[in-house]
Homo-oligomer: A and B are copies of this chain.
Amino acid sequence: MRTRREQIEDEASALFAARGYAATSMRDIAKALDLQGGSLYAHILSKEALLAAIVQQASERFHGAVRPLADGPGTAPERLRAMLAAHVQVVTEAPSKAKVFLFEWTFLGPARREQVALARDAYQAHFERVLAEGRTAGELAQGEADPKLAATYLLSALNGIAHWYRPDGPLTPGEIADRYAGLFLHGVEQPATVATGTGTGGTR
């Protein structure tokens, strides 16, 4: 049984994600729960504290899912695949909360916003580290892009999923992760045909 507090956070997540934090009033949240506006304050301290709680919990989900994989065994490409799949999993299992964490955290007050900025940097650093290790090991070649830029590129693509994912869409979260991993690891360009021996022996 969800506590009242959890119901409030769930409803607030849905509304913040759908309309944006600033465009959602406390009375909107209350109405969705059949309460009066003021009654919410028996459970929360302020609108910003409610946002902070949602953001904090989502942040912990992302970290908890991805960090052990970054530090785990496997080659860099293997770990990246696993981290990417975990990130997609966190986004798609609670899209509203992920969306609030990813795009509404900027509405926090200065103190909490800076905390979240640090947590986000630390999260991206997991990806940067694996990319750097892969380069050192000769498993990855990011062209001229350094690990920081490659991680920014990847996380931008992944976070976009929160904007368009629908549970009833054609692709499961696992399928989305597979395809995105293929795009990130191999790109879209057909490698120049080099003696892969499909029979004709190189169509130049």
Q: Contact check, B183 vs A145: say whether CB atoms are below 8 A apart.
A: yes
Interface size class of A (residues with CB under 8 A): 35 or more
Is the CB–CB distance between B194 and A141 below 8 Å?
A: no
Contacts of A23 in B (CB 8 A): 22, 107
Pull 19 A–B residue pairs with CB atoms less than 8 Å apart, ordered by A. Answer: A20-B20, A77-B189, A103-B103, A134-B188, A138-B190, A139-B189, A139-B190, A141-B188, A143-B179, A144-B179, A145-B179, A149-B171, A153-B157, A153-B160, A153-B180, A156-B158, A184-B187, A186-B189, A194-B195
| A142 on the B face (CB < 8 A) | yes
Instruction: Name the residue on B nearest A106 (C-beta).
Output: B20
> A141 to chain B: which residues have CB within 8 Å?
188-190
> Which residues of A from 165 to 195 have beta carbons under 8 Å from B?
171, 175-176, 178-180, 182-191, 194-195
Pick from B144, B149, B160: contact of A159, CB under 8 Å: B160
When distances are taken between beta carbons in the complex, the residues of chain B under 8 Å from A145 are 179-180, 182-183
* Docked pose: A178 CA to B144 CA in angstroms: 8
Q: Report B-chain residues with C-beta under 8 Å of the C-beta of A143.
A: 179, 182-183, 186
Residue A50, interface by CB 8 Å: no
User: Is A150 part of the contact surface with B, judged by Cβ < 8 Å?
Assistant: yes
